[in-house]
């Protein structure tokens, strides 16, 4: 049975934009194709599970930060669609995804809503990351905090030979907390150190954690990272 939270997220009345984009057959096909393209590149999972994780975590963050249903709807939609451009190019997937989204929904969304989602998709993987809306910042945190074992698509020796796979496989717990009183957003991860030392996490995730810090600062919060109960940021 679906939880009350999932029922809310799937409600076309409460979140009409998310309902529109997540049920769109073209979006579904692009995500499916992007999954296989990134898998051939030996990347971690970038299909429906990551899209769903990012969307739901973005909505959860927006809710805990006190944003209204409209902002949460935009977070869900942008989070779900942020990686749709991967089937064309990994390097430019954020730009291409934004343009694809615009072309697909320009007749169905207001220009204001379309612009916010396009900015969030484009902004989630840019070196010159600049935030112009809470939606963009929230999607970055949701996306970059997705570290978990079931993102690994390989097994055995292939995991050992790929640092991204090793780190994700070692992540056995991933929780995100928002403390409004202390103005902190905290990512707490448990890593099984028999697979990787904690320092390997920093080798590949330093840039991502910096993105989370910048996004949190834009929202008026301080970003904390805790690994195995040790505060590292």
pLDDT at 201: 81
Question: Domain 4-231 maps to which CATH number in 1.10.1040.10, 1.10.10.10, 1.10.3210.10, 3.40.190.10?
Answer: 1.10.3210.10
Helix-strand-coil split of the chain, %, nearest 5: 60, 10, 30
pLDDT digits (tens, 9 = 90+) for 68-125: 999 999 999 999 999 999 999 999 999 999 999 999 999 999 999 999 999 999 998 8
Instruction: Give the 3-state secondary structure of residue 120.
Output: helix
Cα–Cα distance for residue pair 167/152, rounded to 1 Å: 9
Nearest by Cα to 77 from 111, 54, 104, 49? 54
pLDDT at 4: 58
Helix spans in 65-185 (H): 69-81, 93-105, 111-123, 134-144, 157-160, 163-170
Higher-pLDDT residue of 168 and 183 is 183
Strand residues in the chain grouped as ranges (E):
171-179, 184-191, 222-227, 230-231
User: If pLDDT is split at 50, 70 and 90, which confidence band does 197 have?
Assistant: confident
User: If pLDDT is split at 50, 70 and 90, which confidence band does 5 have?
Assistant: low
pLDDT at 72: 98
Contact indicator for 208, 142 with CB cutoff of 8 Å: no
List the chain domain ranges: 4-231
Contact indicator for 138, 62 with CB cutoff of 8 Å: yes
pLDDT at 1: 41
Cα–Cα distance for residue pair 165/155, rounded to 1 Å: 9
Contact indicator for 233, 224 with CB cutoff of 8 Å: yes
Contact indicator for 223, 213 with CB cutoff of 8 Å: yes
The DSSP symbol for 45 reads: P
Contact indicator for 167, 152 with CB cutoff of 8 Å: no
């Amino acid at each position: 049975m679906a939880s009350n939270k999932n029922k809310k997220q799937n409600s076309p009345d409460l979140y009409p934009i998310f309902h529109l984009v997540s049920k769109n057959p073209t979006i579904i096909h692009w995500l499916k194709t992007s999954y296989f393209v990134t898998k051939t590149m030996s990347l971690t999972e970038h299909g429906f599970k990551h899209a769903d994780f990012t969307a739901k975590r973005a909505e959860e963050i927006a809710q805990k930060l006190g944003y209204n249903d409209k902002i949460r709807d935009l977070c869900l939609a942008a989070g779900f669609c942020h990686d749709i451009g991967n089937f064309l190019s990994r390097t430019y997937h954020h730009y291409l995804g934004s343009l694809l989204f615009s072309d697909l929904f320009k007749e169905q969304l207001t220009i204001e809503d379309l612009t916010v989602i396009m900015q969030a998709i484009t902004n989630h993987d840019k070196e010159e990351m600049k935030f112009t809306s809470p939606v963009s910042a929230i999607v970055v945190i949701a996306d970059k905090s997705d570290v978990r074992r079931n993102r690994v698509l390989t097994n055995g020796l292939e995991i050992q030979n790929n640092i991204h796979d090793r780190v994700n496989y070692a992540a056995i717990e991933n929780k995100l907390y928002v403390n409004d009183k202390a103005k902190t957003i905290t990512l707490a991860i448990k890593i099984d150190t028999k697979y990787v030392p904690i320092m390997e996490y920093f080798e590949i995730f330093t840039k991502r954690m910096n993105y989370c810090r910048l996004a949190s600062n834009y929202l008026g919060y301080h970003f904390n990272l805790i690994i195995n109960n040790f505060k590292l940021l």
